[in-house]
């Protein structure tokens, strides 16, 4: 996969949201994705981008809205494998290898308040 396609996928990514259960802080995830897209556009070496992704940690939220952790993990696993890194094991919520399909959350529109409240 070329860098432009990966950057476009990262920019277009959408995640399910959580509230009243653990999720990743939205701002921290958005900042990392913006940083990766910028590095891809500036021609930063793939190994540096991989190091950025693999060392990233996000604060979690419970009372506030956050991103579904498994969705973010799957997108980052996809980016890692596209850059030639080791895929994240499925047990950690990641894709299982190159070309692994991303969860529907990447293209799924955000759920409404009542659906989130009912856990759907």
* Per-residue pLDDT tens digits for 15-69: 999 988 899 999 999 999 999 999 999 989 999 999 999 888 899 988 889 999 9
pLDDT of residue 39: 95
Alpha helices, H only, the chain: 3-12, 26-42, 46-55, 69-82, 113-117
By CB atoms closer than 10 A (0-12, 13-18, 19+), residue 13 is buried
50: domain range?
3-117
Total count of domains within the chain: 1
Rounded to two decimals, what is the model's pTM? 0.71
Strands 17-18 and 66-67: antiparallel
Pick 19 or 92 by higher pLDDT: 19
């Amino acid at each position: 996969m070329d860098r432009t396609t990966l950057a476009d996928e990262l920019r277009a990514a959408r995640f399910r949201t959580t509230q009243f259960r653990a999720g990743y802080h939205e701002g921290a995830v958005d900042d990392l994705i913006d940083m990766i897209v910028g590095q891809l556009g500036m021609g930063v070496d793939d190994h540096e981008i991989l190091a950025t992704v693999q060392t990233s940690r996000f604060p979690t939220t419970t009372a506030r809205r956050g991103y579904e952790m498994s969705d973010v993990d799957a997108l980052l696993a996809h980016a890692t494998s596209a850059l030639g890194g080791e895929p994240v094991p499925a047990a950690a919520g990641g894709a299982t290898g190159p070309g692994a399909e991303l969860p529907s959350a990447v293209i799924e529109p955000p759920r409404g308040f009542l659906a989130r409240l009912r856990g759907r």
